[in-house]
Amino acid sequence: MAGVSAVYDREGEHIGWKVSVRKKGFPPQFKTFRTKADALAWAAVVESEMVRGVWRDRSESESTTLKECLARYATDVLPERKDGGRHGASFLLQWQGRPIASRYMSSIRGQDVALAIKDMEAEKKSPNTIRLHLALLSHLFTVARKEWGMENLSNPVELVRKPRLPQGRDRRLIGDEETRLLNACSKMNPEIAAVVRIAIETAMRQGEIMGMTWAMVNLPARTVMLPDTKNGTRRIVPLSTAAVEVLTKLPSRLDGKVWNYTQDGLKAMYRKAVARANIDNLTFHDLRHEATSRLFEKGFNPMEVSAITGHKTLQMLKRYTHLKAEDLAKRMG
């Protein structure tokens, strides 16, 4: 049975109503409202849920703000990610600075998330960046519901429309761009040229290439074993004759790494090489796109290509597959 009592401040002024719900088999529930009607309405809902066996304790979600949950997420969840939470940390800090962060978890609705999306669009964030922000928030609500005692929560991110992603890039090497790029790389540092050639020959991601050690490379078998890829699975990448030639010519290192450059160092050098080669709008990831397309042009089927590139679904693979029309015309006869 619900009990309602008036609440007064230190000066004796009436400021609200405290309601309590006590039912056998359930922990006592207390909450304060400004009006008696709101207090009784809340109590009626709680009692009804208890009777129907669908009640979930709201005390944790009604007393914890999103900002507090974000801080706990930073401590408990982000460090477990493969990158140590490096990328997620920036998204988390931005969520902490938004008005929604001051809201209690139980009060956050889809429209609150939708307003945050509009703010991010006004800040000129790209659709993909906004989606990454939303992915972190969505995962936080999932963790809070499953692990932090907030079983009553619904996920407000699931209720909003996500920004539409632009069509995937289909940039490929044109004309003599490959020769110009490799020449520019060679003049700066032969190792940069070697990295670019490996990217074009293997379709490996930049992080996968730069994380290579000689222990992963089996030149007699012409393979590179990637123990921990972006998708969280082990993958063995076959090496073409050209890729084997590149790796064979590299000097050995005492620390077992294949490359002297770090990933950040490579990024800077690659940008300079593209500029020196007078090539417009060619990212390092475009080389993976080029390599994947070449695999199809060599006659590999989708399943074979996915085994080489590590794409999880054929739909994901389709984004990277833009075959040259002139090559297809030759095969048509």
Active site residue ranges: 205, 230, 285, 288, 311, 320
Contact 204, 198 (CB under 8 A): yes
Helix-, strand-, coil-residue percentages of the chain, each rounded to 5: 55, 10, 35
Identify each DSSP E strand in the chain by its residue range.
2-8, 14-21, 29-33, 217-218, 223-226, 235-238
Of residues 50, 51, 44, 36, the one with CA closest to residue 4: 36
Return d(Cα 150, Cα 128) in angstroms, integer. 29
| The pair of three-digit structure tokens given for residue 154, joined into one six-digit string | 């619904």
Q: How far apart are CA 98 and CA 101, in angstroms?
A: 6
Determine the angle formed by the axes of helices 241-248 and 190-202, rounding to 10 degrees: 150
Question: In this structure, what token pair is assigned to residue 122?
Answer: 């006004």
- Cβ-count burial of 116 within 10 angstroms (0-12 exposed, 13-18 middle, 19+ buried)? buried
Question: Residue 19 phi/psi, 5° resolution?
Answer: -115, 140
